[in-house]
Amino acid sequence: MEQGYLLQHLIAFGQLLREVGIPAGPSQMVELVTALEHVDIRKREDFKAAARCILVLRRDDLPVFDTAFDFFWRNLTRSEAEEELPRNVLSTMKVKRPRQLRLPSRPSEGDPSKSREEREERINMQLSFSARETLRTKDFSQFSWEEVQAAKEMMRRFKWRIEERPTRRKRPVKLGSQFDMRRTLRRSMNNGGEMLDLAWRDVRTHQRPLVVLCDISGSMDRYSRILLHFLHTISDGLRDVETFVFGTRLTRITRQLRSRDIDDAVQAVSKQVLDWSGGTRIGDAVKEFNFKWGRRVLGRGPVVLLISDGWDRGDPKLLGREMYRLQHSCHRLIWLNPLLGSPDYKPLTVGMQAALPHIDDFLPVHNLVSLEQLGEKLSQLGKRKPERRQQPLRERL
C-alpha cells in the first residue's frame, strides 16, 4: 500500500473505532503512525498487536477492537477500499433487546411535545405544602406519573453524605496527633536551627465508596422507575458510586447513570439492561457480583446497598453463602426492602430468611421519608464495622 493511502486508511480506521465506542484520540493515532516505523505493517498480526496496545485502553474494549480490526483490514480490492465506508460493522455489533422498561403511562391529555421545564413548572405549582407532605409519605407504588416527576424534583434536592473513613494519607494541621519533621525543620531555619515552632500532621479522611445492587425483576416493577431516579440522584450527589441492577443477570449501569440529565440516564439504562421485569435469582446475581466485580469495587471499605423485595426463585443456600461473602468484604451491608414499609410485612420468604443473618441493616425503601432516613443513616454509620456473627463459612456449605 502506498504511503498516502495508508494514512487515509488509518484515519478512517480511527473513525470507525470511535464510532464503535473506543476513544482513540488523535495523539494515539499519531503514536500509531510513529510505531509503524518500527513494526512491519505487512505482518498483519504485528500490526494488529501494535494498534491494539496503542489504541485500546480498556480490557472490555479488546473484543470490539478485534472485530473492528478484522472487519476494516480485511483484504479489499483497491476500488472497494476507496468507496466503502465500513458502516455496516456497527449494525452487526448491535444486540437485540428482548425486554424494555415499561414506563408508567403518561396522562393522555399531556402533550409530549411540551418542554420539560414547562411540565415541571406545572407540577411545582400544583404542589402545595400539604401536598408535598402527603407525597413524602405516599408509597412509591401508588405514584402517578405527575407524582413521580414531583418526587424526582424533591429527590434532587437531597444532600447525600456518607460517613468518612480514615485514609493512609496525612494532611498538615495546626495541632494534630503526629509530628511533622519536615515542616518543623524548615521552620527552625528561621530560629537559627532551634525547633521552637512545631508542625503537626493528622490523618486525612475520605468519603466511603457506595455500591448499589438494585433488583429490577417483575415483583419490583412498581418501584423500579422511581428507584432508578433515586440511583441517579445518589450517583450524582456522591463521589464514588458503583451501580448495578439485576433480575436473572447482573448489569453494571454506573456509566449510564453518569449522564447529568436524569431522563437521558434512565433511557440509557433501559437500553443497556436486558432483563427488565423478569424473574429473580438474587443468589446468582450476588454471586456474579462477588466473582466478577467484588475484587474491583469492594476495595476501600465501601457501603453496600442491596435493594430488593426478597422474592427469590433461586437456591436459598446459595443466596445465604454469597450474602455472607458480600457482608465480609464490605464495611456495611444494608438491605433496602420496599415491602418493609407496610406494617404487617414479615420477611418470611425463603430468600429473605436465608439472607437476613448476613445483613447489617434492614431498612424500608417505599417512600420519600424512608429515603431521607436512609440518608441520615449513611451519614452516621460509625467508624467501626458492626458486630457480625463469627461463624465459619464451612458450616453453611
Partner 1 sequence: MFASIDELQTALAEHSYVADRPLTTAIFLALKLNKPLLLEGEAGVGKTEIAKTLSSMLGRDLIRLQCYEGLDVNTTIYEWNYARQMLQIRMLEASGKAQDDTALSNIFGPEFLIKRPLLQAIEASTEKPPILLIDELDRADEEFEAFLLELLSDWQISIPELGTIRAAQPPTVIITSNRTREVHDALKRRCLFYWVDYPSLEKELAIVKTRLPHASERLSQQVVAFVQELRNLDLYKLPGVAETIDWATALAALEQTELSVDMVEDTLGAILKYQDDIAQVKGSTVRALLAKVTA
Residues engaged in binding partner 1 (CB under 8 A): 23, 25, 27-28, 31, 34-35, 38-39, 45-46, 48-50, 52-54, 56-59, 62, 167-170, 181-182, 185, 188-189, 192-193, 290-291, 295-297, 299-300, 393-394, 397
Query: Measured from the CB atom, is 203 or 350 closer to partner 1?
Result: 203
Q: Measured between alpha carbons, how far apart are the two ends of the chain, in Å?
A: 62
Query: Measured from the CB atom, is 11 or 181 closer to partner 1?
Result: 181
By three-state DSSP, how is residue 173 classified?
A: strand
Q: Minimum CB separation from partner 1 for residue 45, in Å? A: 6
Query: HEC string of 181-227?
Result: HHHHHHHHHHHCCCCCCCCEEEEEEEECCEEEEEECCHHHHHHHHHH
CA angle 141/346/220 to nearest 5° reads: 30
Q: Please, are residues 158 and 233 in contact by the beta-carbon 8 Å criterion? A: yes
Q: Please, are residues 124 and 157 in contact by the beta-carbon 8 Å criterion? A: no
Query: Measured from the CB atom, is 1 or 53 closer to partner 1?
Result: 53
In eight-state DSSP terms, residue 387 is P
Query: Measured from the CB atom, is 252 or 388 closer to partner 1?
Result: 252
Query: Measured from the CB atom, is 302 or 310 closer to partner 1?
Result: 302
Q: Minimum CB separation from partner 1 for residue 52, in Å? A: 7
By three-state DSSP, how is residue 242 classified?
A: strand
Q: Minimum CB separation from partner 1 for residue 310, in Å? A: 24
Q: Minimum CB separation from partner 1 for residue 81, in Å? A: 25
Query: Measured from the CB atom, is 348 or 397 closer to partner 1?
Result: 397
Query: Measured from the CB atom, is 95 or 189 closer to partner 1?
Result: 189
In eight-state DSSP terms, residue 91 is H
Q: Minimum CB separation from partner 1 for residue 197, in Å? A: 14
By three-state DSSP, how is residue 361 classified?
A: strand
Rounded-to-integer distance, Cα 245 and Cα 307, Å: 9
Task: State which H helix or E strand residue 264 sits in.
Answer: helix 262-272
Please report how many Cα atoms fall inside a 13 Å half-sphere around the Cα of residue 81, on the Cβ side: 16
Q: Minimum CB separation from partner 1 for residue 380, in Å? A: 25
Q: Minimum CB separation from partner 1 for residue 23, in Å? A: 8
Q: Minimum CB separation from partner 1 for residue 244, in Å? A: 15
DSSP letters, 93-122, are HPPP------PPPPPTTS-TTS-HHHHHHH
Query: Measured from the CB atom, is 114 or 169 closer to partner 1?
Result: 169
Q: CA nearest 342: which of 46, 142, 122?
A: 142
Rounded-to-integer distance, Cα 14 and Cα 26, Å: 8
